[in-house]
Amino acid sequence: MKENEPVHEGGRERENRIEKLSTLREAGVNPYPYRFQRTHGVAELLSGEDTFLESGAETAIAGRIMSIRGHGHTSFGNIKDDTGAIQFYIKDAEVSEEDWKVFRLLDVGDIAGLWGVLFKTRTGELTVKVSRLELLSKSLLPLPEKYHGLQDKELRYRRRYVDLIVNDEVMAVFRKRSMIIDSIRNYLREHNFLEVETPILQPLYGGASARPFVTHHNTLDMKLYLRIADELYLKRLIVGGMERVFEFSKDFRNEGMDRSHNPEFTMLECYAAYWDYNDMMGFVEEMYQRLCEEVVGSTEILYGEYEIDLTPPWRRLTFYGALEEKTGVDLRGATEKELEKLAKDNDIDLEGVAGKAALLDELFSRLVEPGLIQPTFIIDYPVELSPLAKVHRSEEGLVERFEPYIAGFEVANAFSELNDPVDQRARFEEQVRMRTEGADDMHPVDEDYIRALEYGMPPTGGLGVGIDRLVMLLTNSSSIRDVILFPQMRPEAGRGEK
């Protein structure tokens, strides 16, 4: 295919419809008019059935024609809007000659406006008896088959617009996604959190351990990174005196893609001055409880084969405690050698895993994570794994950090934020040292962030929640692509550049 050649598909059917366009235009009908005055949404008609039947009032609805069943002088069909679908009935003798002509040129997939009164058919179905109609937008490409719909996953992701038209459950997932974000936003606002926006294009990336996307600013002639997290900016705001802040942040990580990773994804981060991680744990439990009640209607949810009960309080287990539960060994004093042996005994492949911290992390994700089905807070992580968390107030070598796990995956990450600028510098430098030893995704030192800390940051509790995974959990979706409207795809053949 040549570049910039328009994509023509739909074959004969598309040509038929283009033919209909000119027939309509010749008859003085604009197939793409400018507006339509609706009186009701379909859902209003369905729920107000009795009133409409009694009053005989005329209504005007608009939407997409989903089916047409012709019977010579009459026709039945279905029309669907944002709120629902309803049957319509049209009879040649009851509309103008012009309208009947337009109707005969109507195809499934067209957008139309209908005027009419409601009645019930012999089989008891609420139906709009059309008195007038207007074509509002002619569609040229045919919709997928009415019974099986659109099944092909590739087409569903690439043409999400078609997926949304024909697969109602997809629409439902994304409505729920919106409700989830609303619910969280309301919860945070009620607790006096301020919603802010921080840079997506950053001269220095940080706040997480991941490889960034790199871009270039022409005028400034400098490298910029797409953010991998907004953490360091939000904490600068805490320094500035905004005591409670949050941001729904689109983050970007230049790494592999799979069922739970998309290169761009949504993370909620929030920070509260004068809180520690214990305060944040209670806050998270309450947030999830409320979210479930508002969105699912219950704190008991179904995810795949699991029945999950999110009623607080959730189980709390320390990082080392959880490992000890699985291995029978307290690993706090374990040497690298002992950890390696333990991994080998459990058939864990250690390729690419170097250092004590990485070993512990590997053991944890192999042995413990898969078993964390019911909501569980894992708390008190080794300091090496957490360069932005504050050291534990009583336990040597640990930080005050927690991660809630549900259905075997991590759904959030939180800590008592490190606000000691000297310690923070040391941790950054340690990360840089580890980077030179081979880990290529550790933090560069952010001097300005340390400077901010030197002005003084109050004790602060911070939280990050992966919104996409949360939506997966609450919509029982097995792939992140099913909760992102336009998931990342390779370009179709002949499009895009290398």
CB atoms within 10 A of CB 214: 11
Nearer Cβ to RNA, position 179 or 210?
A: 210
Nearer Cβ to RNA, position 311 or 478?
A: 478
Question: Is 495 a residue that touches RNA (CB under 7 A)?
Answer: no
Shortest CB 449 distance to RNA, Å: 13
- Parallel, antiparallel or unpaired: strands 84-91 and 126-137: parallel
Backbone φ/ψ region at 408: left (φ over 0), alpha (ψ -120 to 50), beta: left
Judged by CB under 7 A, the number of residues near RNA is: 78
Shortest CB 356 distance to RNA, Å: 14
Query: Of the candidates 199, 195, 201, 270, which has an alpha carbon nearest to the alpha carbon of residue 235?
Result: 270
Residues 204-263 that bind RNA (CB under 7 A): 207-210, 229, 253, 255-259, 261
Shortest CB 219 distance to RNA, Å: 32
Question: Is 492 a residue that touches RNA (CB under 7 A)?
Answer: yes
Shortest CB 182 distance to RNA, Å: 27
Options 39-47, 85-93, 194-202, 297-305: segment touching RNA (CB under 7 A): 85-93
Question: Is 318 a residue that touches RNA (CB under 7 A)?
Answer: no
Nearer Cβ to RNA, position 190 or 351?
A: 351
Question: Three-state SS for 130?
Answer: strand
Question: How many CA atoms lie within 13 Å of 429's alpha carbon, on the beta-carbon side?
Answer: 7
Concatenated DSSP letters of 402-461: EEEEETTEE-EEEEEBP--HHHHHHHHHHHHHHHHTT--SPPPP-HHHHHHHHH----EE
Q: Looking at 41, 149, 397, 408, which residue binds RNA (CB under 7 A)?
A: 149
Question: Is 108 a residue that touches RNA (CB under 7 A)?
Answer: yes
In Å, what is the CA distance from 91 to each residue of 72, 187, 470, 491?
9, 52, 50, 47
Nearer Cβ to RNA, position 85 or 194?
A: 85
Phi, psi of 212, rounded to the nearest 5 degrees: -95, 165
The amino acid at residue 213 is: F
Shortest CB 141 distance to RNA, Å: 7
Token pair of 80 as six digits? 């669907």
Shortest CB 220 distance to RNA, Å: 28
Backbone φ/ψ region at 109: left (φ over 0), alpha (ψ -120 to 50), beta: left
Nearer Cβ to RNA, position 162 or 308?
A: 162
**The 214-217 sheet, strands edge to edge:** 201-202, 222-226, 214-217
Q: Looking at 23, 41, 67, 321, which residue binds RNA (CB under 7 A)?
A: 67
Q: Looking at 2, 35, 71, 337, which residue binds RNA (CB under 7 A)?
A: 71
Question: Is 437 a residue that touches RNA (CB under 7 A)?
Answer: no
Nearer Cβ to RNA, position 292 or 434?
A: 434
Nearer Cβ to RNA, position 91 or 344?
A: 91
Nearer Cβ to RNA, position 151 or 178?
A: 151
Concatenated DSSP letters of 356-407: HHHHHHHHIIIIIGGG--S-EEEEEEEGGG-TTBPBPSSSTTEEEEEEEEET
Question: Is 329 a residue that touches RNA (CB under 7 A)?
Answer: no
Question: Three-state SS for 243?
Answer: coil
Question: Is 328 a residue that touches RNA (CB under 7 A)?
Answer: no
Question: Is 298 a residue that touches RNA (CB under 7 A)?
Answer: no
Residues 382-401 that bind RNA (CB under 7 A): 385-388
**Long-range contact pairs involving 146-152 (C-beta distance under 8 Å, separation at least 24):** 146/66, 146/67, 146/108
Question: Is 9 a residue that touches RNA (CB under 7 A)?
Answer: yes
Q: Rounded distance, CA 312 to CA 282, Å?
A: 9
Shortest CB 234 distance to RNA, Å: 14
Nearer Cβ to RNA, position 35 or 490?
A: 490
Question: Is 72 a residue that touches RNA (CB under 7 A)?
Answer: yes
Q: Looking at 21, 81, 83, 87, which residue binds RNA (CB under 7 A)?
A: 87
Residues 153-192 that bind RNA (CB under 7 A): 153-155, 157
Residues 113-142 that bind RNA (CB under 7 A): 119, 121-123, 125, 127, 141-142
Residues 451-490 that bind RNA (CB under 7 A): 478-479, 481, 487, 489-490
x/- track of binding to RNA for residues 12-51 (CB under 7 A): xx--x-----------------------------------
Query: Of the candidates 281, 243, 219, 248, which has an alpha carbon nearest to the alpha carbon of residue 414?
Result: 281
Q: Quick check: 442 and 253 in contact, CB under 8 A? A: no
**Burial of residue 217 (number of CB atoms within 10 Å: 0-12, 13-18, 19+):** exposed
Shortest CB 150 distance to RNA, Å: 5
Q: Rounded distance, CA 86 to CA 81, Å?
A: 9
Q: Write the CB contacts of 469 (distance below 8 Å, at least 6 apart in sequence).
A: 260, 409, 410, 411, 480
Token pair of 20 as six digits? 């209909």
Options 8-16, 32-40, 56-64, 323-331: segment touching RNA (CB under 7 A): 8-16
Shortest CB 66 distance to RNA, Å: 9
Q: Looking at 221, 351, 396, 497, which residue binds RNA (CB under 7 A)?
A: 351
